[in-house]
Structures are given as structure tokens and as C-alpha cells.
Homo-oligomer: A and B are copies of this chain.
Amino acid sequence: MATTIPWLDDREQVTWLSWLRLSAELPAALHRQLQSDADLSLPDYDVLVQLAAAPQRRLRTTALARAVHWERSRLSHHVKRMESRGLVERVACDDDGRGNFVELTRAGAAALAGAAPGHVAAVRHYFLDALDADEQETLAALTGKVLARLDGITGSGATDAPCGRDPG
């Protein structure tokens, strides 16, 4: 085999490895904070945020799946577990016999309210505070660039729906 395989050079390797490590460690740190302070997982938090921001504090299953960028199957399993803990409730949909709403319960709203300040503080502490305003903008621009290309390739295009973990 005389073919030369184009391995990563030093610059590429540093970029890639440092990305890889951060994308493993940062969620882990945030997860531990949320879990120990509020007994919620990161995915739990995402779901609660979306429901809290929704019109009637409820969303159709598919709409919620889109909002958190999950497959319906994953959402279904997750909602089931959250329902058993009393954080959300599944209610039938009058208009469409096939569909459900996932609705935030009082306990779910309370859990989110209790968790949010600490989580936002953790996002700052572990992530944003390491960078000044310019650096944050630069980072956002670079990740945005990669995302745009990635979404173009994989077809998981940017959605309209509001997303993310921050309660409005």
C-alpha cells in the first residue's frame, strides 16, 4: 500500500483533542452540580425549561422533541421516567386522538425554579467566566461556523423553535 493517509497535523490534533476533552468534561461538571443541588439531570432540566416557556406550560410530544433536539423515542422514554417522578404529566389531546400533551406539573415548575439559579451560575462558573466578551463572541462565531456546515451535511438543519437551557 503506497497510499499516504493524511493524519492530523499538530495544529489539527490540538484543536480536536481540546474540543473533545471540553465536550466531555463540561457537561459532566454541570450534570454533577444539577444532580447534587437539585436532583435533576441535564436532560430533565432541558425538558422542564421548554415546558415552562410554552404557552400553557405544555407542548405536543413532537413539538417538545423538536425543541430539545431529541428523537421521539428518546423523549418518550424520558418523559415516562419524569412522569413517574411527578415532574410532568401526559394528557390526551382533544383535537387529535393520536397526540398527547406533555404538561409541566406544579412540582416540575417548583423543581425548575429551584434549580435554575444554581445551574445558570454553574454555566457561568465553569464556562463563560473563563472568557471575556470578545472571546465569547469569537467562540460563538467559530462554533456557529462548524454547526452551519455540519447541519448542511447531515441535514439536521437549524430549527426555528427556541431552544436551550435557560428559563425565560
**A contact set with B: CB distance below 8 Å:** 5-8, 11-27, 29, 69, 116-117, 120, 123-131, 133, 135-140, 142-151, 153-154, 156, 163-167
Contact = CB atoms under 8 A, between A and B. Distances in A.
8 contacts: A8-B166, A11-B133, A15-B128, A22-B23, A24-B69, A25-B154, A138-B142, A142-B142
Contacts of A150: 22, 25-26, 29, 126-127, 130
Contacts of A19: 127, 139-140, 143
A5 B156 contact: no
B140 A14 contact: yes
Contacts of A124: 6, 8, 12
Contact of A16 (B20, B116, B164, B167): B164
Nearest to A148: B130
A142 B145 contact: no
